[in-house]
Structure 1
Amino acid sequence: MIKSTVDPACTGQFSQLFLDYLDEKPALAEFYNYFPKLENFGKLIQGKNFPQENREVLVATLQKQYEGIVLDGDFEGQLSSLGKENTFTVTTGHQLNLFTGPLYFIYKIVSTINLAQRLAAAYPESNFVPVYWMATEDHDFDEINYFKLDGKKYQWKTDQKGAVGDFELDESFRDFLKSVDFAPDFFVEAYSQSKTLSEAVRKYVHHLFGEKGLVVVDGNDPAFKQILIPVIEKDLLENIPNEEAQKQTDKLEALGYKSQIFPREINFFYMEKGLRERIEKSGNTFHVLDSDVKFKEEEIKALIQSNPERFSPNVVLRPLYQEMILPNIAYIGGPAEVIYWLQLKGVFDYFGVQFPAVMPRNFALILDKLTVKKQAQLGLDDRDLFTDYVSWRKGFVAEHSSLDVFLKDEKEKLAKIFDESAAEAKEVDVTLQHAFESAKVRATKIMEHLAGKVRKAEEKRLEVQISRMDAIRQFILPGGSPQERVENFMKFYLEDTDFVGRLFEVFEPLDFSFMILKLEDDKGGN
């Protein structure tokens, strides 16, 4: 791959709040702990006070979650190292999209693993374990039940409800799997030899990244939820997280920024098999929406103690939950994730949990050989790839036309004729001036119409060049959305099984530029 970079701002894909965070604007300093610079991780390591009992729960739970997967000695050592006080994690999280979903899932994990390796070199006295936090408790199945490849959508349809990690890979899934007959064997094995979606995702992620030491964590576990009990109580019974998150949100909005998430009085869902719904309180009764489940206050207090796994945090409290069960010093996410973490520092401070370095994943656009060729033919630099298409088309036609497509000179000459004639006619009859001005307006409209015809004729003459730009745009913005948010990584992996390995070579976890990656040979080309 040939790598170049552009400023994220020129791509038009990021909010002002995200860009200001990358620029370390002073007004945002109170919304985070340390900015993700290499030297700041030493401060995070020094300030980390993670309970040893939580480490023991983490190791025991992960060993249980990995049962049934053959692990080599190095990986078993990776799990065991989490019990040591000098071991820290760097984490990313994502939904259980089918077949990994969009490209940026892979980018997240590569960024996380590379950061762990970078920190290990900079701080050799400590161990760093990259972690993928599976969003097994999410219940929005419509967001994850498909993936797209080369313009085609592959979708699994099922009537199952509740936390998606518990979805069974039943007959409907086996039928869906048959439609993906091009999938690599490791996908087929993971899905066909697993009972649930979470089990399958762990298996194929381990296949792809286990050798790099990536540990997959499923937060939907009773042992982990025991650690969260104090937060569940404070949220359901006192609404403290809502108050703290709202304070930060109000401050950000006062600075002119838009919120990414919206805290509620209660930020937990009630969860059991086939059900994950919001909890609301009315008087002394807690109601689970869209169900007949309800509890009196004393009943829900008892349930929190006996079955904390029935309570599932929403986006406001999931980050805190993650940091309570992991000795984490960095969270790597997309631009929207980075923004909503800035709304949550007050929640962390209240519960006395260290706020990690919050950093964006690497961003990338991959260009195959044919697209690179078209870019060169049009003389486009990398920034031009993100320019407004309508503006580019007008500018390109004007620059390469054999005549002035706007008929600027002709319009000026015509206007001058009417103005001079009106002045002479005015001496004869003052009412003639208005007649000439009206005629000038009509003539100008005719010239505009003719200019449009000239532009269309020139666009037709330049059709080959314009079609090249159309093809480039479709490749980098399939369906109008950024490539990394649409295309599945199999678009490139099926042509080059070392595709992920190439990403490891070019991704720089602490460089927040937007990368343009150009494939050097026929691998990955279309």
Structure 2
Amino acid sequence: MEIESVQLPFGQPITEAYVRRTRPEVESLFGSHPAEDTDWKRRAQWLKDQSANRVSAEQLATTLTRYNQRFNDSDEVKLAIEAIGNGAPVVVGGQQAGLWTGPLLVIHKAISVIAAARHAAELTGQIVIPLFWIAGEDHDWDEANHTLIVNQENQLVKIAIERPKGNRTSVSRTKLQQEAMLEAVKKLGETLPDSEYKRDLIASLTSFAKLSDNLSEWFAYTMGWLFGKQGLVLMDSDDPALRKLEGPLFKRMIERNDELEEAYQCGADHIRELGFVPQADVVTGSANVFLFQDDQGSAVGERTLLYKRDGRFENRKGTVAWEKEELLRIANESPERLSNNVLTRPLMQDYVLPVLAAVLGPGEIAYWALTGAAFRSFDMQMPIIVPRMSFTLVEAAVTKHMMKYELTFENVVNRFAEYKEAWLNGQDRYNIEARFDEVKQQFAELYQPIMDLVATVEGGLSALSETNKQKIMDQIAFLQTRTKEAHARQFDASLRQLDRIAVSIWPDGKPQERVVNVTVFWNRFGRSWLDRLLEVPFDCLGSHRIIYL
């Protein structure tokens, strides 16, 4: 397997400063760095010392066992959960449940979690368990409900499941009809090219659909199928059994909400002082906690962000409100009605799990930078933040085409459209562009005396002559376009090869991992490509690798 390392833009200046260690004051926001071996050992010892301040290992293991027995019941996972019950720390990463896992970056994050756990075990000399946190409490349905597939014609095809009618609630609480799920799998089968792996792929996804009531469950079955043998433990943030473990921290969040808000505001102010823009909005008056309504008529089940006004907690419009004592009662008796936002989830994760390290994407690292003061205010420490590894998978046929057209990865990413046009122009033995431009210039020169004449006869005709000239020029341009299209059709095979390169490596003008679904590569290669990725050496700085399959 040939591997090439490249550096893609981070997209987040603060993340780049943290990963590359260019500004110590940014690194201090996080309190540690994955490149420092001593930080891993220090964090591992801190977890042991603070075990009494988290959910008990036994309770956690019981909850994880119950969940994974259904979705991820491999011997390797059972052993991993047993280790957690005996006090083993975890490396955790998470993502919102997407259709068939969503874009490839979800797969890359899971691989990063597994690799980071192995790395941590070697450094600390103890068992470290990889764990994937399914963000089933999120309610962004339009982000979770679809995936993009490359069809036989190398076109991107979107497959989506419409949200059932009803209030906006979490993905895990959005019940799907079997018919809709099976129809999506049918469309996937029609979209993917035929291959030796297609039948088993479609059969597996169909069987998982028949066992699932929602996207989160379908996601969990798929992730267990892909990574169960690697000992990757799964958990759903909207699992009612997990919520019962979270109740005490929700209570603290409600009791000390003003202090929590102040900590997040302090974090945002500090980031601005360093010259960066905070990734997440720290909204004045926000409680940074959601509530699932169950007693407000038409809003039953809706996931509602709470705001503090006049000593009470209200929805954004102020149409419904809850007293503080009522929320504390909910935290004690019905914690499944509460839910975290992006700022409180890191705290909850650290309370529930013995988190040695968290594997995050660039955007996640940027908003975790806001949470340092909140960790400290709750007598916690931020875990080691590990940037996830990322990959671009390049098939052998695509590599062959790139060599044929002398295209590099950087060419495809930054200048593909210009390269494609230049290549096509280079095949033009008729010199179409120049000859039409010459005709346009000649026509303009020949027509100018006529325009001068009509203006002399009557000044009002000047505008008419200009309009007439433009119509003729437009017709010449139209013929020029049609001629170039006819010429391009002579090179359809080559243009298809060029387009295949672009769709494979940089689809829709974006990194492959942010667009294409896992089924595209499973259909083409079976499991071999995933096994190869799992063998890629861990990189604590999360570099981007090109994997030539």
With the length of structure 2 as denominator, give the TM-score of the two structures: 0.77
Question: Please, which runs of 5 or more residues in structure 2 have no aligned partner?
Answer: 151-155, 190-200, 295-300, 435-475
Hey, what's the Cα distance between the residues in 2 that align with 1:78 and 1:144?
Answer: 28
Where does residue 21 of structure 2 map in the other structure? Answer: 24
| Equivalent pair of 1:61/1:223 in contact (CA under 8 Å) | no
Greater Cα offset, 265-274 or 129-138: 265-274
Hey, what's the Cα distance between the residues in 2 that align with 1:294 and 1:137?
Answer: 21
Amino acid of the residue matched to residue 377 of structure 1?
K
Where does residue 255 of structure 1 map in the other structure? Answer: 274
Hey, what's the Cα distance between the residues in 2 that align with 1:460 and 1:19?
Answer: 45
| Equivalent pair of 2:248/2:331 in contact (CA under 8 Å) | no
In the alignment, which of 268, 272, 297 is matched to residue 289 of structure 2? 268
Hey, what's the Cα distance between the residues in 1 that align with 2:421 and 2:230?
Answer: 48
| Equivalent pair of 1:316/1:344 in contact (CA under 8 Å) | yes
Hey, what's the Cα distance between the residues in 1 that align with 2:420 and 2:345?
Answer: 45
Hey, what's the Cα distance between the residues in 1 that align with 2:318 and 2:187?
Answer: 36
Does 2:222 align with 1:204?
A: yes
Distance 1:493 1:168, change over 3 A: same
| Equivalent pair of 1:50/1:327 in contact (CA under 8 Å) | no
Deviation at 1:324, TM superposition (A): 0.8
Amino acid of the residue matched to residue 390 of structure 2?
F
User: Could you give the per-residue CA deviations for residues 435-471 of structure 1, whole angstroms, max 9, x where no partner exists?
Assistant: xxxxxxxxxxxxxx99xx9xx98x9699687765444
Greater Cα offset, 66-75 or 472-481: 66-75
Amino acid of the residue matched to residue 247 of structure 1?
C
1:179 match: secondary structure: helix
Where does residue 157 of structure 2 map in the other structure? Answer: 152
| Pairs within 5 Å for 1:123-522 | 123-124=124-125, 126-150=126-150, 151-157=156-162, 158-160=164-166, 161-180=168-187, 182=189, 183-220=201-238, 221-234=242-255, 238-264=257-283, 265-272=286-293, 274-289=301-316, 293-389=320-416, 392=419, 468-498=497-527, 499-506=529-536, 508-519=538-549
Where does residue 36 of structure 1 map in the other structure? Answer: 34
Distance 1:20 1:178, change over 3 A: closer
1:206 match: secondary structure: helix
With the length of structure 1 as denominator, give the TM-score of the two structures: 0.80
Hey, what's the Cα distance between the residues in 1 that align with 2:114 and 2:142?
Answer: 29
Amino acid of the residue matched to residue 316 of structure 1?
L
Hey, what's the Cα distance between the residues in 2 that align with 1:471 and 1:178?
Answer: 24
Amino acid of the residue matched to residue 135 of structure 1?
A
2:35 match: secondary structure: coil
Hey, what's the Cα distance between the residues in 1 that align with 2:71 and 2:395?
Answer: 36
Hey, what's the Cα distance between the residues in 2 that align with 1:376 and 1:137?
Answer: 46
Amino acid of the residue matched to residue 375 of structure 1?
M
Does 2:146 align with 1:119?
A: no
Hey, what's the Cα distance between the residues in 2 that align with 1:69 and 1:145?
Answer: 20
1:127 match: secondary structure: coil
Does 2:88 align with 1:83?
A: no
Hey, what's the Cα distance between the residues in 2 that align with 1:359 and 1:337?
Answer: 11
Where does residue 446 of structure 1 map in the other structure? Answer: none
2:308 match: secondary structure: strand
Distance 1:266 1:37, change over 3 A: same
Where does residue 59 of structure 2 map in the other structure? Answer: 57
Question: Please, which runs of 5 or more residues in structure 1 have no aligned partner?
Answer: 408-448, 520-526
2:377 match: secondary structure: helix
**Once the two structures are aligned, what percentage of the paired residues are identical?**
23
Distance 1:247 1:401, change over 3 A: farther
Where does residue 45 of structure 1 map in the other structure? Answer: 44
| Equivalent pair of 2:386/2:541 in contact (CA under 8 Å) | no
Hey, what's the Cα distance between the residues in 2 that align with 1:371 and 1:360?
Answer: 28
RMSD of aligned residue pairs (Cα, Å): 3.3
User: Could you give the per-residue CA deviations for residues 284-333 of structure 1, whole angstroms, max 9, x where no partner exists?
Assistant: 33223479642233333333333233221110101111111110011112
| Equivalent pair of 1:57/1:223 in contact (CA under 8 Å) | no
| Equivalent pair of 2:251/2:332 in contact (CA under 8 Å) | no
Deviation at 1:280, TM superposition (A): 1.9
Hey, what's the Cα distance between the residues in 2 that align with 1:354 and 1:476?
Answer: 39
Hey, what's the Cα distance between the residues in 1 that align with 2:184 and 2:418?
Answer: 43
